[in-house]
Amino acid sequence: MDHFNLETLAVSLSIAYVIFAAFEKKVCWWFGLAGSLIYIIIFYDVNLYMESLLSVYYASMAVCGLFVWGKSENKNHKRPIIKLDIRTHFLILLLIITLTAISGYILTEVSDAYMPYLDSFTTWSSVIATILVVRKVLENWIYWISIDTISIYIYLERDLNQTVFLYFIYLLIAITGFLIWKKNFGYQSRKSTC
């Protein structure tokens, strides 16, 4: 399969993943796993090493997501959406900035990585945001909105036009996902106080 068709397949699987995730459907993780495995190859081929490594992580988190979301799901019960406090988000951002600085510097010194600091920033942000998705943290979508916006720029620079399209769709779905999860969180909170 040529690079263009491989990217088309990865984009399709990845769009399906994020749509199902926005609607809190466990099947999202199967699509995420398949798309991630393909993106490992694609990103490596265009010298986005952190993105390729991130796809390895996404594949493993998809397996984790299947178990975590499945463990608490039955016909009448979904894993609840939770919120984190501002202090926790501050610590998360501090961690992302620190990891970005370290890996960006290392990539600059020892590789031919393209945009090593931006690549590192989106990678480490995505690592954390994926954990937040698995835990069903409402604010995960806010992280994804930022990540998707920066990723669009990076992929435009590498002529990954289908992936630019994917991340534009991701951006729209992240906004929609936030609104859906926020509504569901409000409903869930009212239901638990009744």
CB 16 within 8 A of CB 170: no
pLDDT at 124 over 70: yes
pLDDT at 186 over 70: yes
Distance from C-alpha of 181 to C-alpha of 173, rounded to nearest angstrom: 12
> Percentage of the chain with pLDDT > 70?
94
Q: pTM for the complete prediction?
A: 0.81
Mean pLDDT of the residues in the chain? 90
> What CA dihedral angle connects 132, 137, 142 and 145, to 10 degrees?
50
Which tens digits make up the pLDDT trace of 14-33? 999 989 998 989 999 999 99
How are the residues of the chain apportioned to helix, strand and coil, as percentages rounded to the nearest 5?
80, 0, 20
Which tens digits make up the pLDDT trace of 62-78? 999 998 887 755 555 67
147: phi then psi, degrees, rounded to nearest 5: -60, -45
List the beta bridge partners of residue 74: 77
pLDDT at 93 over 90: yes
Q: Which of 176, 153, 177 is nearest to 164 (CA)?
A: 153
